[in-house]
Chain A
Amino acid sequence: MSTASSGFKLSEWIFTTDHKRIGILYLIGSIAAFAVAGIMALLIRIEQSAPGPTIVSDAFTGGDQYNVWLYFHGAAMILGFLIPGLTGFAANYLLPLMIGAKDVAFPRINALSVWLFWAGIVVALLTFIVPDKPDIMWTGYPPYSVNTAGNTALYVFTVHLMGFSSILAAVNFLVTIIYMRAPGMGWNQLNMFVWSCFTALIIQLIFVPVLASAVTLLLFDRYLGTHFFDPANGGDVLLYQNLFWFYSHPAVYVIFLPAMGIFYEIFATMAKNPIFNYKAAVYGGMCFIVLISGEVWVHHLYYSGMPDWLRIGQMVTTLMISVPVGLMTISLFGTLYKGAITFNIPMYYGTAALYLLLIGGLTGIPLAMTVMSVHLGETSFTHAHFHFIMGIFATFAVFAGVDFWFPKISGKMLNVSQGKLGFWFNFIGVNITFWPLFIIGVEGMPRRYWDYSQFPAHFAGYHKVATIGAFIVAIGMVLTISNWIISAIKGEKAPNNPWGSNSLEWTHTATPPGPGNFPKPVTVDADWTPYNYK
């Protein structure tokens, strides 16, 4: 890295306040979380490949082992991988470059954010060391999370650390985007990725405190003997669920928006086209999502005993999400129209994203309908739905993003054939994994079950296929991630702007960018946009 003028020095990384290095530290941490959580996914899938104990020791303690894997998988994938991978790594590395800034507004706070995140990863990993391993789910519902012998505190502290980290990051980047844009750069000239982070971070800033307070009350109930969620003493079980989803539904947009942002950048660059109907996507899409993201959380509580009128009211608001998401989708697809598309690894993922977005998005519609979700909720249909949109679409966005900006970040080119091979394993594998789960989900296969012997025998076949798929994905991931490592060390040297992009991070910086990012201060004129290829 050219930011390290004289080879690698550990202390330079530990004390760095450079947003690019902080971004890379986020990337390393989130990929580590992804890897461990991925191994948990494989254990879960092996266990589910047949009814009855497969790798857990026996029927009586099986749940205890399985629930720890499932806890870690869910919590680490969301809190440790996707959120830090998108609004941590990608936002850190790219936002200042895209808006022509030297760094973020508060570089030292930025360093604090990344180390809080790393502390969160360490606390999460303690799961495997403590004797009383957390056996709640990542949703942590009381009374179970208060009564269990498992260690709920580890969950709460992980949420606290990740939460503080992301609140600080949100403030930092919002200020950076508002005040540090290059002279002349108006709001309608921003990269789609900048807009997507801007809107995602507003959501993050508003809602993370709600989650932090919910889990803190949990901690009080558990260890200080308060009764916030204990009906026997005047508390209420549903209070937690409302607080939790008041954050955690908006959190899916914190993931979804930057993931879309990455694909917009890839599509515009590879098709050499402007964004189709930019303003509709930005204002009617992203900004509108910010407005309604907080009014739909009850769709996670359709069968939780909420008042009937609220279930119906939020069915309508939830279905309305199809408007902003639809506008963003039209804009994304439209960006290809009459383009001049070059196919390379990022565009392979981009093409797959068209399909993944549709499957993930459309299967959300029955789940948005109160009466449909009364059957489909908490089944493996739900499980396959959120894996398509988060576990695959958004995860592919992180991978495509790393592949796309890899030449800029590392100064090297990726090995193309290994990258494409990895893509095919990933893409084929996820389809083999998750389609069977849609099908048995409709038939009633509940999620979070490690044994399902009460169900018809043919469920086992579907589960087996899904398990094979998961191993195919695992091969794809190893190919993909090892490609990054090997190519960063001995890949071909990258040209300054290999994709011929028009965005500032490619046109105005060295490869990789040095300290201070831009050799000379950037100004842009009124008809500049990152997508102006004419």
Chain B
Amino acid sequence: MKRAVSAMVLTGLGLSATMAGAGEKVAMPDPAASWNTLWHHVLLDLFIIGIIFLAAGLYWVWKYRATRPNQIGEGPKLSKIAAISFAVVPSFLFMADDFFLAAKGWTVWNEYRNVPRNAMEVKVTGSMWSWNFEYENGVTTSFVVDSKEGEGLVVPLGKPVVLRMTSTDVVHSFFLPDYRVKEDLMPGRVTYLWFNPSKTGETLATCAEFCGNRHSFMWTKVKVVPQAEFDVWVAKQKQGAGA
């Protein structure tokens, strides 16, 4: 995961998106980039609401200090109409913001859940404590945590990858921090996620659902390579398996 993560520049909580930085750019839905954009909008939204309330609260706390002993507050007694307005108007404002966020969230969510037709499928099996991958062409790889042996997940640049995932034992979760996505794996069900490998290099996937003793170590390398290099790699894997 050679520090692709650390390429993310952090300005306070405002995270700047550098996902599609290096490498060849490919015109294709890029859920991770959409996530980053949405994140900035959400932060701005929260920041505005937070500042308004905090400023009002702190200003009042300071302004309405008692100045003499036994002073009584002058808080307003609301008329019926004022009381109703103070309930209805903010409710509609909150709801408007909710629906705004929900609509934006849903749009990006659709990107997350609609797997592009040309996606390459890889079967993922999580076990205590290793990740195993099986490609459509029969190639299998894995990553064993204790020995750090295995290729992990290798994918070609610019081709969407859909992971069909299940678990042999307990609940795990395949979390790709750089691609802003995770989905749980469990016995008895097949779940999926897809991502768009938009940048060459190594990144990591790590388990995000508690799975016992070695949960913290349950990660795997995820390597994005140019298509040509990927084809060579596949050929080599097949040969290795054949020999």
Contact = CB atoms under 8 A, between A and B. Distances in A.
Interface of A: 59-61, 63-64, 67, 135-137, 139, 141-144, 147-148, 231-232, 235-238, 271-274, 276-277, 279-280, 284, 303-305, 308, 311-312, 315-316, 319-320, 322-323, 326-327, 329-330, 333-343, 351, 354-355, 358-359, 362-363, 365-366, 369-372, 374-375, 377-379, 438-439, 442-444, 446, 448-452, 454-458, 500, 533-534
Contact of A369 (B42, B74, B94): B42
B2 to A, nearest CB: 10
Q: Which of B45, B53, B108, B204 has the most chain A CB atoms inside 10 A of its CB?
A: B53
B21 interface: no
Contact of B75 (A64, A338, A355): A338
Contacts of B54: 354-355, 358
Contacts of A238: 186, 189
Nearest to B87: A280
Interface string B100-114: 011001101100110
Interface stretch (B117-125, B173-181, B225-233, B234-242): B173-181
A272 to B, nearest CB: 4
A472 B50 CA distance: 26
Interface string B55-93: 011101100111100111111111000010011001100
B116 interface: no
Contacts of B112: 371, 374
Interface stretch (B5-13, B133-141, B153-161): B5-13
12 contacts: A63-B213, A67-B213, A231-B188, A237-B187, A238-B189, A271-B64, A272-B73, A322-B97, A336-B61, A369-B42, A370-B109, A375-B182
B172 to A, nearest CB: 10
A315 B102 contact: yes
A351 B64 CA distance: 13
A369 B66 contact: no
Given A277-B87, A303-B173, 8 more contacts: A279-B87, A284-B87, A303-B184, A315-B105, A369-B102, A371-B106, A454-B204, A454-B206
Nearest to B49: A362
Nearest to B42: A366
Contacts of B106: 312, 315, 370-371
A354 B208 contact: no
Interface residues of B, number: 86
Contacts of B171: 141, 143-144, 237
Contact of B105 (A334, A372, A438): A372
Contacts of A304: 184, 186
B90 A279 contact: no
B64 A378 contact: no
B115 interface: no
B5 to A, nearest CB: 5
Contacts, number: 269
B163 interface: no
Contacts of B23: none
A371 B183 contact: no
A266 to B, nearest CB: 12
B61 A341 contact: yes
Contacts of A534: 72
Contacts of B105: 315, 369-372
Contacts of B219: 454
Given A63-B215, A284-B87, A439-B10, A338 B187 contact: no
B10 A144 contact: no
A9 B215 CA distance: 50
Given A143-B187, A333-B53, A443-B10, A323 B72 contact: no
B1 interface: yes
Nearest to A335: B75
Contacts of B213: 60-61, 63-64, 67, 135
Nearest to A455: B5
A443 B11 CA distance: 12
Interface string B196-217: 0000000010111111111111
Interface string B1-34: 1010110101011010000000000000000000
A303 B98 contact: no
A375 B180 contact: yes
A371 B8 CA distance: 20
B46 interface: yes
Contacts of A446: 175, 206-208, 216
Given A271-B64, A320-B95, A369-B42, A143 B170 contact: yes
A472 to B, nearest CB: 22
Contacts of B181: 374-375
B42 A372 contact: yes
A340 B73 contact: yes
A312 B13 contact: no
